[in-house]
Amino acid sequence: MKNLLEFNNVSYFYQTKESEVKALDDVSFNVKEKNFASLVGPSGCGKTTILSLIAGLLTPSSGEIILDGKPITKNDGRIGYMFQRDHLFEWRTIWQNIILGLEIQKQNKNAEKLKLAEDLLKKYDLYNFKNKKPRQLSGGMRQRVALIRTLVLEPALLLLDEPFSALDFQTRLKVCDDVYEIIKSEEKTALLVTHDISEALSMSDKIIILTKCPATVKENIELDFQEKTPLLKREDKEFGNYFEKIWRNLC
């Protein structure tokens, strides 16, 4: 499969009052189409900087980022972003939340797109809640709505910025499974940022390990679990071995 995202020798400096800080040092990695990759590293290692660069919210100081054969531009519309919290707008119904992106891009009269939104809601058991307000839904359902809100815009790449860290452990495992299933069945490419090794392991096809600030790529680990769901992966006997390997690399 071809590379959907290529990060080629990217460095990034950010400016503070005191000095110039090097956040990324010659970082290179790639994500294959329809794959699920995770960036793992110690906290404060520039993971979020990488996501902001891919989303076009920041511009690299040197190097290039290629998405689907074309370089990333400022505010690139080809990216879907999922955050730590679901950030559903409380004053909007579930349906209105889901078509937020369509409204912004003036596509909310586009029958095809609306059909897609409706189909996604039906497929993932949220259709009965379309006229409810976010506060009437559970944490897991809210996170699913947030994902669908992103998918409606049909992004080439999904960026997940620790999307489960605000959930309690029980919900987290469940939502992890749900999100994984949705991303796989919609055949999306995703890049997850997390500091939770087992979460990265249970979701990904590939794990990219970063070092402390300035971030460099320490290792690429390809995982082979043969298409298991996150929960089943956690039970796989290889899971412990991988965990051990990553843990060593992080220290």
Partner 1 sequence: MLKRNKNINFSKARVKYLKKQKTDKFLVLFWQIAIFIIFLGIWQLCADFGIIDPFFFSSPSRIVSTIIELANQNNLWIHIWTSLYETIIGFLLATIIGFLIAVLLWWSEKLRKIFEPYLIILNSLPKIALGPMIIFWVGSGTSATIVMCILICVIITTISMLNAFISCDNDKILLMKSMHANKFQIFYKLILPNALPEFVSVLKINVGMSWVGTIMGEYLSSKAGLGYLINYGSQILKLDIVMASITLLCILAAGMYFLVSPLEKRYKK
Residues of the shown chain interacting with partner 1 in the complex, contacts defined by CB under 8 A: 55, 57, 75, 77, 79-81, 83-85, 87, 89, 91, 100-101, 103-105, 153
Phi-psi sector, 209: left (phi>0), alpha (psi -120 to 50), beta: beta
Strands (E) across 89-212 are located at 157-161, 189-194, 206-210
Q: Are the C-beta atoms of residues 81 and 116 closer than 8 Å to each other?
A: no
CA distance between the termini of the chain: 32
Strands (E) across 124-240 are located at 157-161, 189-194, 206-210, 217-222
In angstroms, give the least distance from the CB of 73 to partner 1: 11
Q: Are the C-beta atoms of residues 233 and 225 closer than 8 Å to each other?
A: yes
Nearer to partner 1, 100 or 232 (CB): 100
Nearer to partner 1, 14 or 247 (CB): 14
Q: Which tokens go with 136? A: 């009437």
In angstroms, give the least distance from the CB of 99 to partner 1: 11
Nearer to partner 1, 21 or 104 (CB): 104
In angstroms, give the least distance from the CB of 83 to partner 1: 5
In angstroms, give the least distance from the CB of 226 to partner 1: 33
Eight-class DSSP state of 31:
E
In angstroms, give the least distance from the CB of 195 to partner 1: 18
Nearer to partner 1, 92 or 228 (CB): 92
Nearer to partner 1, 80 or 230 (CB): 80
